[in-house]
Amino acid sequence: MSYETAIKVDPVSKIGPYYNLATAYSTKGLHNKAIQQYRLVIGLKPAHYRAHTNLGLEYEAKGLTEKAIKHYKTAITLKPDEVKLYNLLGNAYISMRHFPEAVRQFKTAMRLDPALAVSHHNLGVAYRYQGDTELAITEFNNALRLWPGWVLPLKELEQINKER
């Protein structure tokens, strides 16, 4: 049975088909349709943190970062121990050039899981945009300590060395 058929059979009581259809649309790059379905899921279950998270991702894909931030914040309220959410919110703040707020989000992510290399990398990027090169280098090295050979922090460090 397709997700569309499942929705026709039971249009209200189960959110699964709506969520799965939204995810399928997202995978195909059909952002407007994905947004519509994630909004339906949230309408049926406002506390569905994953729907808020994915709706934020869809809004970011369309360049609607302020809307994405709103949904990431809602997701964090619903699931405050989910490290990924702070990284997503921090990256959204970077794209808005709100670097101090991005730094705060990445530090929160690191408090929740200090061994997650991506949080250190993201914090390094935020520091670099702020002009805090030494702090950026420290975080890129921390990311590499946790994930040896990871290309992204290696490229950041290489670029910093070229600029010196």
User: pLDDT tens digits for 38-92?
Assistant: 999 999 999 999 999 999 999 999 999 999 999 999 999 999 999 999 999 999 9
| pLDDT score for 7 | 46
Whether residue 73 sits in one domain with residue 117: no
Residue 13 has pLDDT above 70, yes or no: no
The overall longest dimension of the chain from CA atoms, in Å, is 63
Residue 33 corresponds to which tokens in the numbers above?
């349709």
- For residues 156 and 142, give the distance between their C-alpha atoms in angstroms, rounded to a whole number: 13
CATH of the domain at 57: 1.25.40.10
How many other C-beta atoms lie within 10 A of the C-beta of residue 62?
Answer: 13
Rounded to whole angstroms, the Cα distance separating 78 from 84 reads 13
Cα 34 versus chain centre, distance: 16
Tens of pLDDT, residue by residue over 101-125, are: 999 999 999 999 999 999 999 999 9
pLDDT score of 6: 46
Domain that holds residue 164: 81-164
CA-to-CA separations, 73 to 66, 86, 105, 107, 151, in angstroms, rounded: 11, 9, 11, 16, 30
Q: Are residues 63 and 96 in the same domain?
A: no
Q: What's the domain count of the chain? A: 2
Domain end call among 47, 79, 111: 79
